[in-house]
Amino acid sequence: MPGPLDLLRIAYGDLSEALSALSEEEQWAPTGCRGWTPVDLGHHLLGDARRALVALSSPAPGPADTDRVTYWRGWRPPAAGDDEDLRRTRAAASTGLPYADLVRAYSDTTDAVLVSAGRVRPDEPVRTQGHVLAVDDLLSTLVVEAAVHHLDLVAHLGRPGPGEQPLGEVRRVLEGLLGRPLPTGWDDVTAARRGTGREPLTDADRTELGDDAEAFPLFG
């Protein structure tokens, strides 16, 4: 199985390609993130890649206080009616880079993240989002973020989604959060969408999951 850096290389490469392939009309289509277009989502993704670059240059004394699974416990879907992050991102994207420049900046920044990640020890503690975690665990969180948002990007476009290996990492993290395997009838796309609240559980899901259904979405 590829390590976190190789998984991130795949996830970033696939997402960069997907962003660059969109037509002008598709750039303003809805995405799997309510209220966001691909332009808004691209702005968010660029910010996340820049955060990753800062994190890889932010060594911390340690020990780590979170890992690739527990990191996500703090990320919950916004409460109903809480659209502040949506509005803030849309406002920033509306005054930001033209789409072609945005995609180029994302590609350049993710390339820099991969180079930086290859220059630090996998177990070195770094700081991000108020937490300290090992570099390999940071890279896993970036894989999950890229894969889930790749699904968001293509949700209404009929274009290829993330690869099998990054989606497998999403599933492993979701199962770590749940503390048990996800339903065997879920493919990895379904696992990612239902595990993060992008698709509701069915009655059959709730029967199979039992009391664990109340833990969903596992993060958002």
Query: Is residue 77 very low, low, confident or very high in pLDDT (cuts 50, 70, 90)?
Result: low
What is the reported pLDDT for 85?
Answer: 62
**Which pLDDT score, from 0 to 100, does residue 12 have?**
99
Confidence of residue 86 (pLDDT cuts 50, 70, 90): low
Q: Mind listing the domains of the chain with CATH numbers? A: 4-162 (1.20.120.450)
Higher pLDDT, residue 154 or 93: 154
Average the pLDDT over 68-81 and give the result. 79
pLDDT at 129 over 70: yes
- Surface-to-core class of residue 171, CB atoms within 10 Å of its CB (0-12 exposed, 13-18 middle, 19+ buried): buried
Lowest mean pLDDT among 71-85, 103-117, 141-155: 71-85
Segment 65-90 shows an average pLDDT of: 74
* Partners of 126 in the β-ladder: 59, 133
Residues 206 and 210: their CA atoms lie apart, in Å, by 6
Whether the predicted pLDDT of 116 surpasses 90: yes
pLDDT at residue 93 above 60? no
Tokens read off for 33: 């993130």
Question: 112, 109, 114, 135: which is closest to 55 by C-alpha?
Answer: 135
**pLDDT of 75:** 79
With H, G, I as helix, E, B as strand and everything else as coil, classify residue 104: helix
pLDDT reported for residue 95: 52
Residues 171 and 140: beta-carbon distance below 8 Å = no
Average pLDDT value over all residues in the chain: 93
Say if residue 194 is exposed, middle or buried (CB neighbours under 10 Å; 0-12, 13-18, 19+): buried
Contact 14, 162 (CB under 8 A): yes
Of 109, 120, 99, 127, nearest to 42 by C-alpha is: 99
Measuring CA to CA, which residue among 4, 29, 34, 15 is closest to residue 148?
15
Q: How far is CA 159 from the centre of its chain?
A: 18
Whether residue 94 has pLDDT greater than 60: no
Give the model's confidence band at 62: pLDDT under 50 very low, under 70 low, under 90 confident, else very high.
confident
Mean pLDDT of 95-104: 88
For residue 36, the one-letter residue type is W
Looking at per-residue pLDDT, the higher value among 117 and 92 belongs to: 117
- Name beta bridge partners: 134: 125
